[in-house]
Amino acid sequence: MKYTIISERIGTVGEEFVPGLGTNVEALLKHGFIESDEPANDSPALKSAKTKAPAKKD
Amino acid sequence: MATTTYLSNPTLTVNSVDLQDQCRSATLTVKYDALESTAFGSTSRVFTAGLGDHELTVTLLMSYAATETYATLATLVGTATTVTMKPTSAATGATNPTFTLTGTFLEALPVIDAAYGELSEIDITFKGGVYTVAVV
């Protein structure tokens, strides 16, 4: 995943942002300091298909 | 020998965000638990360093504008992050070292600290973390 700077408070706007050790990337994304090259996915995770239990043999 | 002084104007980054223009005071204290190692034969108490217990306290002008103080800190409270300070904005070097606390914890954030007719300021403290100094 690649991040781009969109706030001057982080660095030069348009340049790639490489998170340092301990950087909270989620906080920077959430408040508009950087953006990710991967689109945000707000849809819930897909559920796994339900499977029928095998019929009991008497 | 001439007296050497330093006019305070340090840089501050919190979670990689430059907050120098919001910061009014800052104190980074490097501290270690003092573990007593005095033993038979000692004539004075002696100590050895235990765990590091470093702390950064800063006073910031509060702002709720985009990418300002509140936006920087709001999601960091209750988590660990990285903070850096330098004596001046000049390049890092032997006479302008960069001090870093990695994995330091922001325990509390006063989301409003207001007094009538005054600029809003907040005092926050980052606790713990690994302390390093860079000179290059």
Domain B11-134 grouped into CATH 2.60.40: no
Residue found by looking up tokens 């870093």 in the block? B100
Which chain A residue shows the shortest CA-CA distance from B80? A22
User: Is B76 within 8 Å of A10 when comparing Cβ atoms?
Assistant: no
Enter the pTM of the model: 0.86
User: Is B66 within 8 Å of A26 when comparing Cβ atoms?
Assistant: no
Please count the other Cβ atoms lying within 10 Å of the Cβ belonging to residue B89.
11
User: Is A22 within 8 Å of B103 when comparing Cβ atoms?
Assistant: yes
Task: Kindly report which listed range (A1-10, A37-46, B87-96, B98-107) carries the lowest average pLDDT score.
Answer: A37-46
Q: Is B20 on the interface with A (CB under 8 A)?
A: no
| Burial of B76 from C-beta contacts in 10 A (0-12 / 13-18 / 19+) | buried
| Between residues A19 and A42, the one the model is more confident about | A19
**So where are chain B's domains?**
11-134
Note the ipTM here.
Answer: 0.85
Q: Is A21 on the interface with B (CB under 8 A)?
A: yes
- To the nearest 5 percent, what fractions of chain B are helix, strand and coil? 5, 45, 50
